[in-house]
Amino acid sequence: MTLTLEAPVMVAAGCGGTGRELAAYGDLAVLGGFVTRSLTITARPGGPSPRILETPAGLVHAVDLQNPGIDQFLALELPWLVQQQARVFVSIVGRSLGEYAELARRLGRSPGIAGIEVNLAPPDAAGVFDVREPFHAASVVAAVHRDLPRGTPVLAKLRSDVLRVAESARSVLDAGADAVVVGNALPAAMPDGRPAGLSGPATRPLALRCLIEVVAAAPDATVVACGGITTPADVRVALHNGAGAVQVGTALLRDPTTAHRLLAAIGEDGP
């Protein structure tokens, strides 16, 4: 099965707030998807301040997956997103394969979800299931896939690791992923040594190389490009190199209208 998206621009995980904040600047329903911040079984308080620092052409972030937990999300946030007719992709992270399966079960019972994005490589999170090898990634996707009703798409978000990303992509697709998202924030560190992620335009050439490697390795798969997408030209480059859609993240933090602007720009002259 491959994923079909209604529009080629999505909001990347962790960059759209709860959706309500972003909705002030544009209709969520017109986007290809709204990916939530990553949710875990139980609430996580997140890391200490400072959490985000500027770096040349990027942001270094150590939010450590602050989120209210899956049940709070399902009770308080999802209904509103569904009411907005947003195509909601719920990003999930587990501490174990069992937690990934449990998250999939709870989401599988929740109406209104367009799909699940499995966050396989949160670079700033402590204590989560350690995805080092492609088979780790595959086992997570298999666990999620097994516990979901048929027809709920699973997106697998991979690390932008140029050397391993093609192999990882093939593994997660074999395990049942409907689409691959490349890539996640790059593993980085805060000046005080805390693990962090690097996002923004600084990561774009690397993410592009990963996209190209994955498309070459899995030409029939749906691949969503993520990493530093900011301008209409960035979207065109990604689509030209085989992406089926793009996710916009860091650019939204600087201009909350970015996703809608990109969608309009792409719509005007076609991809």
Partner 1 sequence: MTAATTPDRAPLHVTGELLASRRIGAHHHLTVVASGVAERFRPGTFVALSTGEERLARRAFWIHRVKTTGGYGATLELVVEARGAGTSWLVAQPAGTPLQVTGPLGRPFALPTEAVPCLLVGEGYAAAPLFPLAERLRERDCAVSLLVAGSDEAHLLSALEARRSARSVTVVTGDGSVGQRGTVADVVGGVLQRSGAAVVYAAGTPPTLHAVATAAEESGAWSQVALEQPLTCATGLCQGCPVPVVGESGSPRLVRACVEGPVLRGDRVVWDEVVAR
> Least distance (Å) from partner 1 to the CB of residue 186?
15
Torsion (CA) 270, 248, 77, 46 in degrees, nearest 10 = 170
Residue among 56 and 151 whose Cβ is closer to partner 1: 56
Residue among 55 and 110 whose Cβ is closer to partner 1: 55
Q: From residue 170 to residue 209, what is the string marking binding to partner 1 with x (rule CB under 8 A)?
A: ------------------------------xx--------
Please give the size of the binding site for partner 1, defined by CB under 8 A.
Answer: 35
Tell me if the bond preceding 26 is cis, omega within 30° of 0.
Answer: no
| Dist CA 44 CA 64 (whole Å) | 8
Residue-wise burial string across 225-247, b where 16 or more C-beta atoms lie within 10 A, e elsewhere: bbbbbbebebbbbbbeebbbbbb
Q: Applying CB under 8 A, does 232 fall inside the site for partner 1?
A: no
Q: Applying CB under 8 A, does 66 fall inside the site for partner 1?
A: yes
Among residues 6, 21, 71, 174, the one that binds partner 1 under rule CB under 8 A: 21
Among residues 256, 259, 262, 263, the one that binds partner 1 under rule CB under 8 A: 256
| Dist CA 82 CA 8 (whole Å) | 20
Which residue, 192, 95, 104, 112, is CA-closest to 142? 104
Which residue, 172, 170, 181, is CA-closest to 89? 181
> Least distance (Å) from partner 1 to the CB of residue 30?
16
Name which of residues 86 to 125 contact partner 1 (CB under 8 A).
Answer: none
Give the containing element (helix H, strand E) for 139.
Answer: helix 134-146
Q: Applying CB under 8 A, does 61 fall inside the site for partner 1?
A: yes
> Applying CB under 8 A, which residues contact partner 1?
14-18, 20-25, 37, 45-46, 49-52, 54, 56-59, 61, 63, 66, 200-201, 250, 252-257
